[in-house]
Structure 1
Amino acid sequence: MEPGILFRIILVGNAGVGKSCILQRFLEKGFDDKYEVTIGVEFGTKQIKIDNKLIKVQIWDTAGQENYKSITRSFYKRAHGIILMYDITNKTSFNDLESWLNDIKDYANDGVDIALAGNQVDLVAYQDNYREVTYTQGYDMKNKNNFCSYHETSAKTGQNVNELFQELCSVLYKKQEIKGFGKNQTAFVSLTSSKDPRKKYKKCCK
């Protein structure tokens, strides 16, 4: 049976942190380390189960470059959840989270749920000197901003990738149950009437 609930999740963060590769891994398409810059916004979809109910998840992969931010901002209002991502081997990408948060506050819906992801943990598995952002720093950022979850992830190995999306979707699902969203509510839509003109996700970009 076609799932009746659609969650839209947007991936945001600096260029090169691995957003597109995380999406590719979540879609079970493996890992491709070839670097291709995302232009504008691309998306992929996947069905998951929450409380034995089938949910369709649409994930938007956004360009991280400054000159594409206006495009990214136009998608914030349609997102039910946001994954804010940085690279644990790049302190600048972590410091720039404040700028991304300002955009979220300005353009996303009030109370949107945000998950934090520190990507590329595979790079520090055997050479910790590559790490520029500690787990504690990420965890403190999560607590400071009341993010719904925090994971260190790896698109290459798949570490915590499913957990990242599953936990965010579980939070969205529980909120939907508590607030009693139904078929006539706009926050969660029937897939039979959902249309999106964007092209489907085709490539892996960091």
Structure 2
Amino acid sequence: MASATSISLDFICPITQDIMVEPVLLVEDGHSYEQSALEQWLEYHNTSPLTNKQLNNRQFVPNRNLKSTIEDFRRQQTQSTSAVDFRSFTLRSGRPHNAKWEHCPQLQIIISLLGPSNVGKSVLARNAGYGRPMSKNPVYIVTIQTDVLFFYLDRLFEDQYVVIVQLHDCPGNDRFEAVSDRHFRNCHGAVLMADVTDFQSFERLEKYWYKRLREKSSFDNVEAVLACNKVDLLEAECDPSHRERFFQRADTFVSSLQMPIINISALRGDNVQILFQQLILNILQNESLVKHLKQYARQVHKPASNPTKSCC
């Protein structure tokens, strides 16, 4: 039986105590019932199911207005349930292999990892499965060009869109910052990364990377999150005064911008999944960005017209 929570009593059949599918109005008593239940009731009774009074008229008619209202309610419930289920998505590496999704339109989200050199962007980008720690002896290589990694969500957005995530690992060294310009322009979301052990990394992030993102972005309201990386090193060699000063500075920076702040260890995987889940959800809740993503998806997904057959 359906739960009565937040369900109008008008939707409930007095006989079945469940939400009606084909509501009909019993003319004499003025109440609505599920059609099949009322028909069965009237086979054995000559009384109103609700009032138990004798019926002089057993006629009933479809209650179309109530049926339409119930159908609207069911659609809203389905959409609400779907939205809640979607929020528990997992980010998967590579391309989707679900055959059922083959003909679904795709929303292609671009997320850029931005920040100075040595803050851990490449470690974050290559974190195995987002949330599982990397090997104990990772190899660190300076990024000299933007590396692009592909991921997808394991759930459909709005029950119809496959969500593809392009993660752009942008070089942070001053010599290669010009390489990142187009990734400022094209990204729908950005992870602004700072090294919690290095105040200069935060100053460079604040004065250059965030400023360039706002100046170069094609979108007025690109979503961003501040990721304070290497919290594992603070635990190992913690200077309480440094820690306090750094996070006070970070809190001041994000508070004026209403930007989320998440403390992570890209190496161990701490809060990495939470970081990307929050940023992706923020992008998909941004009406302007979603409108742009859907428009692009429709253009790409538009079925090709049948070629004109040649007469020759």
Q: Report deviation, 1:10.
A: 0.3
Aligned pairs for 1:79-158 within 5 A:
79-97=187-205, 98-109=207-218, 110-129=220-239, 131=242, 134-147=246-259, 149-158=260-269
Q: Secondary structure at the match of 1:171?
A: helix
Task: Please tell me whether the aligned partners of residues 11 and 82 of structure 1 are also in contact (alpha carbons under 8 angstroms).
Answer: yes
User: C-alpha distance in 2, partners of 1:183/1:141?
Assistant: 29
Q: Between Structure 1 and Structure 2, whose CA radius of gyration is higher?
A: 2
- 1:52 offset after TM fit, Å? 7.5
Amino acid of the structure 1 residue aligned with 2:166: Q
Query: Greater RCO between the two (CA within 8 Å, min separation 6)?
Result: 1
Structure 2, gaps ≥5 residues long: 1-100, 303-312
Which AA in structure 2 matches 1:68? F
**1:135 partner letter:** F
Q: Which runs of 5+ in 1 are unaligned?
A: 194-206
- TM-score, length of structure 1 as denominator length: 0.80
TM-score, structure 2 normalization: 0.55
Distance 1:101 1:138, change over 3 A: same
- Of the three residues 1, 23, 42, the one matched with 2:147 is 42
> Could you say what secondary structure the match of 1:114 adopts?
strand
Q: Which structure's residues are more often strand, by fraction?
A: 1
Name the CA shift for 1:37/1:52 in 2 (closer, same or farther; >3 Å): same
> What is the distance in 1 between the residues matched to 2:143 and 2:298?
27
Q: 1:5-16 maps to which residues of 2 (within 5 A)?
A: 5-16=107-118
Q: Which secondary structure state, in structure 2, belongs to the residue aligned with residue 57 of structure 1?
A: strand
Q: How does 1:64-79 map to 2 (within 5 A)?
A: 64-79=172-187
The percentage of counterpart residues that share the same residue type is 23
SS across alignment from 2:286: helix
1:22-68 Cα offsets, whole Å, 9 max, x none, are 11116457425322001110011112247675522110000001111
Q: Which residue of 1 aligns with 2:134?
A: 31
Give the match's secondary structure for 1:134: helix
Q: Output one character per residue of 1:98-140: Cα deviation in whole Å (capped at 9) or x when no partner.
A: 2112211221122111111000011112431285553332222
